[in-house]
Amino acid sequence: MAGQNTYFLGVMDMQRIILSSVLGLFVLAQTGCQMVVVNGKSLEGMQGVRLVRPNDPITGPCWAKDAYDGSWGRSGQIDGNTRQADPCRIKYHSSYSANRWMAVEGKLGNGGKYPVVLDTGASIALFVNDIHILENKLAICPLKSNSGDSVGWGRCHLPKLHLGQVTLVNWPCFYREQHTEVQLLGLPLARGKAVIAGLAALRRFKYIAFDSVTKEVEFSLEKVFESGQSDSWAQYSLLIEEDLGGNVFLFVKIPIGGQETELQLDTGSGRGLAIAEELWVRMRDKIQHVKLRKGRDLYPYIGSLACKRAVVPELQVGDRTVKNAKISVFPNDSPLVEQCAGLLGMQYFQDTVMVLDFERNLMWVKG
């Protein structure tokens, strides 16, 4: 009996130790856990990293002079078992639960699996970071400054990217020698390994449907979108604009809080609204009982940006009412809102189906 009591007390002590440790980690996480951007070492000259020149035949059409102008044809192709299964569906990546971004699991040519963010807020076709280069031994062409120094990014050859039954072949791809990390008191807990598939690639589909009810993405290369009962869908105009540098941007015209807006659509963001102060001034009289508080939002490849935040209990977004809608307001000169009045993320569509109809230049939202 005494032995049993000793065993029972030992188990209780162990449970207290485990509980205390968990609580301690929780407190530390609340005080010291943060997402940061980490600048990696120069990839040029690293063991296992191959350098290529733009005219090297190993890289194929990806390096053609016209490969970065967003045009179809030589800039890449999409193939795979799509004729037999078009449209095709693929489940959201598990990272959706934490980030609410539109991501699926992708596989590089050598079999490495990564989350692939379907990011209309990114202009270029494909984007990877230093982790992908090192883990997959991708051939790179670093870009140099006028003095001949590396600028920390460049082009790389990504032969294939598999997304379920869809394969992107020889698409233009850029890389940067940095990545994000979740750190606890300065120690890394997890590293960001997401591949970015930007607007230049996504717009090559007839439509892409983000079904956040079933947690699936639907791609269609050949068939146009059919809404079925059209009265159950709202439609909003899409506009694709291109700047002098060849960068493309996707805008949607949609009323927010009763205010007609034209916002850049950012499916790579799980946030709600990220808008310039100028737009907020026009909207705030129609949004009651909202107090902004100072904060900072982290945008990879841009940095941690000062803003003011609020959560609106109920916000009218098009024909729908969104509960607990997040809003971040940035100074008018913030780099995030240099070329637009603001960005519309996916938080407002996490309980419905949203379709990007590139054939008709429409965004469909199910009621």
Counting DSSP H helices and E strands in the chain, the numbers are 5, 26
83 part of a folded domain: yes
- pLDDT, greater one: 265 or 124: 265
Residue recorded with tokens 């205390």: 20
116 part of a folded domain: yes
Question: In the chain, how many domains are there?
Answer: 2
32 part of a folded domain: no
Q: Which tens digit of pLDDT belongs to each residue from 346-356? A: 999 999 999 99
- Local structure of 220: helix, strand or coil: strand
Residue recorded with tokens 């984007």: 127
Which pLDDT score, from 0 to 100, does residue 48 have? Answer: 77
79: left (phi over 0), alpha (psi -120 to 50) or beta: beta
Q: Of 157, 181, 208, which residue sits at a domain end?
A: 208
Residues 247 and 360 in one domain: yes
Residues 229 and 358 in one domain: yes
73 part of a folded domain: yes
Residues 255 and 353 in one domain: yes
Residue span of the structural domain in which 269 resides? 225-366
Residues 313 and 347 in one domain: yes
Residues 138 and 42 in one domain: yes
In this predicted structure, the answer to whether residue 27 has a pLDDT above a threshold of 60 is: no
Residues 269 and 203 in one domain: no
Q: What gap in Å lies between CA 245 and CA 87, rounded to an integer?
A: 33
336 part of a folded domain: yes
Residues 201 and 268 in one domain: no
Give me the half-sphere count of Cα atoms (radius 13 Å) on the Cβ side of residue 314: 3
Q: What gap in Å lies between CA 344 and CA 266, rounded to an integer?
A: 6
pTM: 0.82
Which pLDDT score, from 0 to 100, does residue 101 have? Answer: 95
Phi, psi of 58 (to 5 degrees): -65, -25
- pLDDT, greater one: 209 or 25: 209
CATH of the domain at 314: 2.40.70.10
Residues 231 and 336 in one domain: yes
